Amino acid sequence: MKKNILRAKLIQIFSKYQLSKKHSEICADYLIKAELIEAKSHGLIRLKMYCDRIKKRLINPRPKIKIKKLTSSISHIDADNSIGFVSAQTAINQAIKNAKKTGIGLVAVKKSGHYGLSSFYADQAVKKNLIVFCFTNAPPALAPHGAKKSLFGTNPICFGVPTGKVPFILDTSTSIINRGKIRRAHKLGEKIPYGVALNKSGKITTNAKEALLGSQLPIASFKGSGLAWMVDILSGVLTGSSHGGKTKDPFDDFTGPQNVGHLFITIDPKVFVGLNFIKEIKKNIKIVKKLPKAKGFSSILYPGERKNKVYKKNLNKDISIPSKILKEMDELNAI
């Protein structure tokens, strides 16, 4: 499907679910961008979930988002159970504004929901020549190291920095694969990779449904578990949001709003090294790229380069949509 047609359809769907035109456009653009960078686990596969939660009033389609200014650098946002795309967009705009004014921006968000890919927001800060960290918590998926029960989410860590060229953006879940990939595999009847998840009995499974009922494996064993815990503290405990396994699963738990928390940190590198930062980061990248290549590698890429190439490759192509999702879109548009 052509991007402009898909965008119009998505805006129409979100508008039918009572989102404002501006908020509908934000949501549509982020879902399309996820498809273009081939992060399909965070794209159209989630559309019905968002609409279901709006319909049940677990996502507020007309939120009254409140930004509390604590200092010139620090803001605390009550997102009023808005869709995560909108609350996170509000937050990154504020974090950028704060950093441009004082050199650093620290923005915490409570009463939000799933906000898509962290890189969506990091990219915006980096384009304003800022360093950025993004944290968000998620529903239980990982068992803490030494435990048998899932508690932490796949809690992503995102870091971005300007390079003068393609932004350096590391966006990674603390699980081996993100939960969205397992959700998508389950929906489309596909298997998941071996060694990324366990079933309820604690055995490795390639069955997506068994994985959703079991637990996912963290990156780097106890280190990944520790990082997931760190994100739970930063985006849950610190922001006044759900934490410690209390974040509701947006697909399965309709007993109330998710109350997801986000934390954004933006830093103007000029405060320390003036205008030398870009020159030094280019030097840093050049040193790494000139290293001898390992077998099977023709180049050394930094985080963000591959995704940027994929985005540019797909930018002028039609977006392929599985028939099951097309049917969902038609049904959502028919309300």
Residue 91: count of CB within 10 angstroms of its CB: 27
pLDDT at 240: 98
Cα angle 333, 119, 312 (rounded to 5 degrees) comes to: 80
- Residues 213-239: what's their mean pLDDT? 97
Q: Please give the Cα distance from 66 to 262 (Å, whole number).
A: 15
Using the 8-state DSSP alphabet, how is residue 233 labeled? I
Q: Return phi, psi of residue 222, to 5°.
A: -65, -25
Q: Please give the Cα distance from 167 to 241 (Å, whole number).
A: 30
Q: Please give the Cα distance from 279 to 298 (Å, whole number).
A: 25
Cα angle 98, 103, 105 (rounded to 5 degrees) comes to: 40
**Residues belonging to the chain:** 335
Q: What is the pLDDT of residues 234-289, one digit of tens each?
A: 999 999 999 999 999 999 999 999 999 999 999 999 999 998 999 999 999 999 99
Q: Please give the Cα distance from 301 to 280 (Å, whole number).
A: 18
Q: Please give the Cα distance from 228 to 156 (Å, whole number).
A: 8
pLDDT at 148: 87
At residue 141, what is the residue type?
A
**Global pTM value:** 0.96
Residue 298 is encoded by which pair of tokens?
A: 């023709």
pLDDT at 335: 63
CB under 8 Å to 161, separation ≥6 — which residues? 126, 131, 132, 167, 168, 169, 269, 281
